[in-house]
A and B are shown apart, each in its own frame.
Chain A
Amino acid sequence: MDVFCLYNSRRNRISLTPLIDVVFILLMFFMLTSSFTREKQLELSAPVASQELQVVTEVERLVVGASGGLESLRSAGQELSDDRLRELLADGRPVVLQPRREATVQNIVSAMSHLRELGVSRLSLANLYEKG
């Protein structure tokens, strides 16, 4: 009987329950506070500067349509294809975007990133395109 008592002696084990409590609270904290969207910043050269640009160098003015397409000033209303855009912007002129009244911020941003992908480095946002 003594032998049994020896092996059965209760060691004081640390209970896991408080540990789990703390871990759960940490988990909740990180789940609720963390976000997975990465924020970025897009440089909008000032409209003020773009007016100066216009004087100094020739710029290509493009209209951002309500569907996010790009139109040239001369043929506003007609969306430019990628090939036509590449042709227009081949000489590396700065681009000035003029959004239509009903275009959304998402349209403007999409148009900007589209132009960046086409290799436009100097890009600015001007006032609204009111005609047409």
Chain B
Amino acid sequence: MEQWLVIPRRKTGDDNIIPMINIVFLLLIFFMIAGQIKEPLNGEILLPQTPLGEPVEKLPITLEMDRQLRLSLNGKGIAIEALEESVHSLLREGQTVALLVDRQVAAADLDRVLAVFREIGVANIRLYSQSDE
């Protein structure tokens, strides 16, 4: 008679899945806390690496230059000839321009952009870099 009182344990697939869910939850929590969500860079840009630098501040004018020397101003592709006019129309007095340049770009090509900035009189430039932590 006592045998009837024992609760028969139902074998369900759920029992095997629980350890897996534990691990998946841990992974989820890890990625939620350790990673940060941000919009990907336009084109293929590997930023120069350095441990130094100030925290990123969002700036109204952002110029990107990828390894193939393609320029994009605030996300839109632009030719270097048109850069001066476009930046000039966007620029307010004393404003800072953010510059995202691929680490492989030669100084000669960077200087062509900087020469445009010199021409317009951009007072401050912030060069993006990254540190792997």
Contacts and interface: CB of A to CB of B under 8 A. Distances in A.
A36 to B, nearest CB: 6
A31 B28 CA distance: 8
B52 A113 contact: yes
Per DSSP, chain B at the interface is mixed
Given A103-B107, A109-B50, A112-B50, A42 B21 contact: no
Nearest to A36: B35
Interface in A1-50: 3-4, 7-8, 13, 15-17, 19-20, 23-24, 26-27, 30-31, 33-49
Contact of B36 (A13, A34, A101): A34
B124 A108 contact: no
Contact of A43 (B102, B105, B108, B126): B126
A116 interface: yes
B111 A102 contact: no
B103 A106 contact: yes
Contacts of B129: 39-42, 109
Interface in B16-33: 17-18, 20-21, 24-25, 27-28, 31-32
B4 A47 contact: no
Interface string B114-133: 11011001111111111111
Nearest to A107: B107
A34 B35 contact: yes
Interface of A: 3-4, 7-8, 13, 15-17, 19-20, 23-24, 26-27, 30-31, 33-49, 64, 99-110, 112-113, 116-117, 125, 127-128
